Amino acid sequence: MRVVIAEDHALLRDGLTRILEAFEFEVVAVVGRGPDVLPTLLECKPDVAVLDVRLPPTFTDEGLQAAIAARRQMPGLPILVLSQHVEPLYARELLSDRRGGVGYLLKDRVGDVAQFVDAVRQVAGGGTMMDPEVVARLLDRSRPLDVLTPREREVLGEMAAGRSNAAIAAKLFITEKAVSKHINNIFTKLGLPVSEDDNRRVLAVLAYLDS
C-alpha cells in the first residue's frame, strides 16, 4: 500500500516512516511543508495519505486545508489527519464532502502501533475514524441528539470512532444483531437516505458532529 506522509517535525516524520515501513507500507513521498502537500498528493496518487494539521510556513492548519483541497480534486482520496490536539470543528470540515476514507486522530494514538496501522488501513479502505477524544468531547456536550436513545448515541459514538458492527457489539456487550438494529434506528431517526452502508455511516457521524 502506497503512502504519502506530511509532517514537519523530523523526529515524528522518521517515526511515522519507520512504523509504516515496518508494516509493509510503501512510503512514496515525505513532505515537510504545507504548500508541497497538494502537488505531491496529486502527483503520487497514494492509496492513503497521513497529514499533520500544522505545517510550515504559517504553522496554522495547512495540513487540514491541503486535505480538504486534495479531496475536492480527487474525491474520496483516503486521508488520515494527525494532530496534537483535536477539534470537533476540524472533524466536521473533513467530513463535509460526505464521503468516507477520512480519519482524524491525535498523534498520541500512533504510539499504539498496531491500532494506528489498523486505522491507516481502515481509512485506506474507505472507513471513517474519529479520535475517541473528538467523540468524548461531543458526548460531553449538553445538547446531544435528542431523538436518539442513550444506547443509540453510544452506538453512534462508536461508529464515529470507526468501529465495525462486530467491534461495537464486543465493546458494548450486545449482539451484532442488536447493533444493526440500533444503527438502522439511527439512520431512520436521522432521516438518512437508503444507500451504500459506508456512506450512511459517514452521514450519521456527520449528523452527530453537526448536532
Binding site for another protein (CB under 8 A): 9, 11-12, 15-16, 18-19, 22, 54, 59, 84, 107-108, 110-114, 116
Cα separations (Å) of 89 from 3, 92, 206, 211? Answer: 26, 5, 11, 12
Residue environment code for 150-168, b if the CB has 16+ CB neighbours within 10 A, otherwise e: eebbbbbbbbbbbbebeeb
CA 164, CA 75: separation in Å to the nearest integer? 23
**11 or 194, CB closer to another protein?**
11
Q: How far is the CB of 6 from another protein (least distance, A)?
A: 15
Q: How far is the CB of 37 from another protein (least distance, A)?
A: 18
**110 or 179, CB closer to another protein?**
110
- Which of 104, 101, 99 minimizes the C-alpha distance to 52? 104
**12 or 27, CB closer to another protein?**
12
CA 120, CA 80: separation in Å to the nearest integer? 7
Q: How far is the CB of 111 from another protein (least distance, A)?
A: 3
| Residue in the structure block whose three cell numbers are 495540513 | 63
**114 or 194, CB closer to another protein?**
114
3 state DSSP class of 16: helix
**59 or 74, CB closer to another protein?**
59
Please classify residue 75 by burial: count the beta carbons closer than 10 Å to its beta carbon, then call 0-12 exposed, 13-18 middle and 19+ buried. Answer: exposed
Q: How far is the CB of 191 from another protein (least distance, A)?
A: 40
Q: How far is the CB of 41 from another protein (least distance, A)?
A: 23
